[in-house]
Structure 1
């Protein structure tokens, strides 16, 4: 729909989640996305050629560069995320409110487990 493949969506969404000014170091990007530095370099070149990201000097470290969404990249990922969230909402609308609350609580427990935090920490009550 937006002429983005999965890795492009993931990379643009990761930069968007970083918050304004929507930039990260290449190391932070490939660590978050769990790809090799070589894969990251190839992907960055493709997104740069598409005008969706740009590399810029790191003002805090002259030896490194940062990757930033361009205004075109930000506009595209904002539209794509909006449609994605709406599609997820439609998938879940068949569930009653109680089931959604239980699903939310169970997914929170799973996330805490994956993060190595104790079960029950900051988990909403399924009956809330």
Structure 2
């Protein structure tokens, strides 16, 4: 990704052991282009579920996410 100029590495300002990684303008532009396509693909995948299945999936995902915090 660095060779494609999508990200850049930076030295950590206070910890010389660390390296920060940031998106370049080209990386941000690529995400801006691809994100709507990704969201539409996800919408199509989820559209085949019934309302009940979507509620169940939402509940399960919420439970998984609550375990992360």
Which one of 51, 68, 72 corresponds to residue 26 of structure 2?
72
CA separation in 1, counterparts of 2:64 and 2:47?
27
Which consecutive aligned stretches of 4+ in structure 1 deviate over 6 angstroms post-superposition?
none
> CA RMSD of the aligned region, Å?
2.6
Unmatched 5+ stretches in structure 2: none
Matches within 5 A, 1:1-128: 47-93=1-47, 99=51, 102-111=52-61, 112-113=63-64, 116=67
Cα distance 1:114–1:85, how it changes in 2: closer, same or farther (>3 A)? closer
Cα distance 1:113–1:57, how it changes in 2: closer, same or farther (>3 A)? closer
**What TM-score comes out, normalization by structure 1 length?**
0.42
CA separation in 2, counterparts of 1:109 and 1:77?
28
CA separation in 2, counterparts of 1:65 and 1:58?
5
CA separation in 1, counterparts of 2:45 and 2:59?
21
For these two proteins, the number of residue pairs brought into alignment is 67
Unmatched 5+ stretches in structure 1: 1-46, 118-128
